[in-house]
Amino acid sequence: MLYFISTILNGLTLGSIYALIAVGYTMVYGIIKLINFAHGEFYMFGAFVGYYVLILVFGGKEGGRELGMFALLTAALIAGLATGILAICVERIVYRPLRKSGRVVALLAALGVSLLLQNYAQQGVGAKVKTFPNTFTVQRYPRERIEPSSLVVGEIAERDAAVIYSVPKDDGRLTQIDNVAQSGNKIAASDVAKMNAILQRSANDGSAAAVYRFPAVTVSNNYGVIILALAAISALLYGLVQHTRFGRAMRAVSHDFDAAALMGIDVNRVVAGTFFIGAFVAGVGGTLGGGMYYSKIFPLMGVTMGLKAFVAAVIGGIGSIPGAVVGALALGIAEALVIAYGNRLHAGLSLYSDAVTFAILILMLLVRPSGLLGKPASDKL
Amino acid sequence: MTFDHAFAFWGEHLIIVAIWLVLTLSLNLINGYCGLFSLGHQGFWAAGAYAAAATVKYMPPGGEHNWLGVFLSFPIAIFVAALFGLIVGLPCLRLKGDYLAIATLGFSEILRNVIQNSEALGLSLGLSPPNVVQNAVGTNATYAIYLVLCWAAVALTVIVLRNLIDSSHGRAIQAVRDDERAAELLGVNLTFYKVFVFVTGAAFAGLAGALFANFNSFVTIGHFDFNQGVMMVVMVVLGGMGNMRGTAAATILLYFVGNVFLKWLPAVSVPVFYDPTQGGIVYSQIKDLWQVLYSVLLIVVVLVRPQGLLKGVDFRIPWRKKAAGI
């Protein structure tokens, strides 16, 4: 039961990161019917802005001291603003001149922007994976303290069990100092020796290290940050779209672009604003999801996330903001379930979560192209 | 550079560019002539290449001189890729434009995920079938044989596709692109032609895959990633969709600029970024900036000439123009 609950929480977190990207996809598609392939790169851009803010403004270092929640949230906010400005520039320079061209032409331009951002990032910040600065100590549950002597050498670490050496601080928070015998690897005699050496050393200097065992699926406190961020952003977006003049203009433009223009709505401003909001959310998602949660950032990090988020937007009904959130959460939970339970059905099935994602996409496109919450397409002719 | 080195250098590039020509010309049938915007051609290529590599490696006699495997790898690769074309083509019938692009991309991602996790296909390490031709005749002769073989494949692709496009079937295929509804009203069987185009295009991608797997005697999933698919689409689009000469010209141009000419550029570094964590200004070699340049080129071409860089350029040989009375 605990395993199931942690799987669902895991999925909700993953889904929340997808949702932060999918919202922008769906808003842009709703307004100008463009699949903005560069949206995944906005997520990447946001993660890098967050990284540089934490390092340059808050003095963080890769693997350095914890910077705290305030620093993380400030970095996320600045990343969102910077990404939003980037999106406005991209829209103004590339997408606006193409608004009257065919959809496929615009799609190609979007591919071009996506490639440009990826390739430029590879030249500028380098293709190497960077570790996001620490912002707060990640605690994983459930966990179980074990003695190294209870491990059997040669046995495969049971149920993807990972054994991690940790130093409990005074307040009971654990900090990882080393990590061996991961995910179904064989426990080697050298592993046990290494553990004993570290325990011996910590007993001598009084730092009190201990060995803990974690199951394959765990819940951590950083899940809460992501899920709360999504909840806050969703609420803000709902208020913006439903209860402000700008939101009404957005809905009007999404409903009928030309009629909205004829009614005196400044469509260029609305489109630019939509790009800004979508990219802002993706930038925040980049810092919190790609940076804080995954803690590994690299120029191509937006490719898979962007594709999956797009799948989420299609599942939810592209053009619908609540649909994007629902679709993303559903996709996140589905992936987490495949990863957690796949191996129980058939050995190795857990590895196919990507295939499952895209199979869901294709099924959805065939059975209900308008998505879970989308309106059925009206242009049958 | 000795003769052997020069021969190997140019031979390899001429072989790979021929494989790319087969790929882009067949993608041009799907994207250009039939207007089905596919982003999944790298998946068909991968299917053919893995099928061929597995055939050479596992076909019964086995070993370093598995000629039977080499001969059978071509029909098997073409068949497997065409089968994937059928599998992708059938469900995609109901999709159009960007939705179709995403669905084909989805299929190639599924294929990638499955190959990567398949023990028999070498997981993400890939497959290394024996290089049967090289084991029998040595390096130089191998290059010569594959040069002939690959350019014969290009000729075959051109002849088959040219005749197809000029036939009544080709007219039907182009009618589907120009106006699906009107074509259907005039009696064009949409289902048949869409599936037919996918299967034919995929079969040629399978041929390219078999050539690649046999020549390279190593395939890994990295050879067939999404960026390769985007590169193919860019070549077709720059050539002006539905323009075989343009596609061929764009393929040759982009291939040689990206893989050969840029490597000859002098070592000049230009500042690209300011990053205090990397110690100030970041420099890049100009030859490393090709990827950036070509994305900019793609954006500029789409903005300035959405119909394609080479669309409308008359590629006909002068004396043939005269013969046609122009």
Q: pLDDT per residue over B160-187, tens digit each?
A: 999 998 898 888 888 888 888 888 888 8
Q: Output the CA torsion sign for B192, B193, B197, B203.
A: positive
Reduced to 3 states (helix: H, G, I; strand: E, B; else coil), residue A168 is strand
Distance from CA of B283 to the nearest CA of A (A): 8
How would DSSP label each residue in B38-92? -S-HHHHHHHHHHHHHHHHHHSTT-STT-HHHHHHHHHHHHHHHHHHHHHHHTGG
Chain B CB contacts of A56 below 8 Å: 276-277
Question: What angle in degrees, to the nearest 10, is found between the helix axes of A2-32 and A222-243?
Answer: 30
Facing A119 at nearest CB: one of B94, B226, B295: B295
Q: B146 to chain A, minimum CA–CA distance in Å?
A: 32
Contact A281, A238 (CB under 8 A): no
Q: What is the rounded distance in angstroms from the CA atom of residue B85 to the CA atom of residue B82?
A: 5
Mutate to test the interface with A, among B34, B110, B181, B297 (most CBs of A within 10 A): B110
Q: Is A351 on the interface with B (CB under 8 A)?
A: yes
Angstrom CA distances, A368 to A70, A315, A364, A372, B92, stand at 43, 9, 5, 8, 13
Per DSSP, the three-state class of A171 is coil
In sequence order, the 6+-apart residues with CB closer than 8 A to the CB of B113 are A351, A352, A354, A355, A358
Indicate the residue of B112, B277, B295 with minimum beta-carbon distance to A116.
Answer: B295
pLDDT score for A381: 38
pLDDT averaged over 10-residue windows placed end to end, chain A, 381 residues: 82 93 91 88 94 86 76 92 95 89 82 91 86 78 74 63 56 61 65 77 72 72 87 92 91 89 91 94 92 88 89 87 91 88 74 83 80 63 38
Q: Which of A26, A37, A105, A108 to mutate to test the interface with B (most CBs of B within 10 A)?
A: A108
pLDDT confidence of residue B325: 56
Q: What does the pLDDT read at residue A380?
A: 38
Contact (CB<8Å) A123/B91 = no
Q: Dump the DSSP string for B232-287.
A: HHHHHHHT-SS-HHHHHHHHHHHHHHHHTGGGGS---EEEEEEEGGGTEEEEEEGG
Report the predicted TM-score, pTM, of the whole model to 2 decimal places. Answer: 0.84
Q: So what's the pLDDT on residue B33? A: 87
Please give the backbone phi and psi of residue A343, each rounded to the nearest 5 degrees, phi first.
-65, -25
What pLDDT was estimated at residue A156?
A: 62
**B323-to-A197, B313, B316, B319 alpha-carbon distances in Å:** 87, 18, 11, 6
Chain A CA closest to residue B87:
A362
pLDDT of residue A172: 56
Cβ of B94 within 8 Å of Cβ of A366? The answer is: yes
pLDDT at A178: 63
- Closest partner residue to A105 (CB to CB) among B106, B284, B302 is B302
> How far is B170 from B241, CA to CA, in rounded Å?
15
Q: Which residue in chain B is spatially nearest to A108 when comparing CA positions?
A: B302
* Nearest-by-Cβ selection for A112 from B103, B181, B298: B298
What radius of gyration, in Å, describes the C-alpha atoms of chain A? 23
What are the 10-residue block averages of pLDDT along chain B, 326 residues in total? Answer: 72 90 92 85 92 85 75 90 89 75 86 83 78 76 86 92 89 86 84 89 93 88 85 84 85 86 78 77 80 84 76 66 59
pLDDT, one tens digit per residue, over B83-135 is 999 988 887 777 777 778 888 888 888 888 888 887 777 777 878 887 777 77
CA distance B70 to chain A (A): 31
Inter-chain residue contact B278 with A126, CB threshold 8 Å: yes
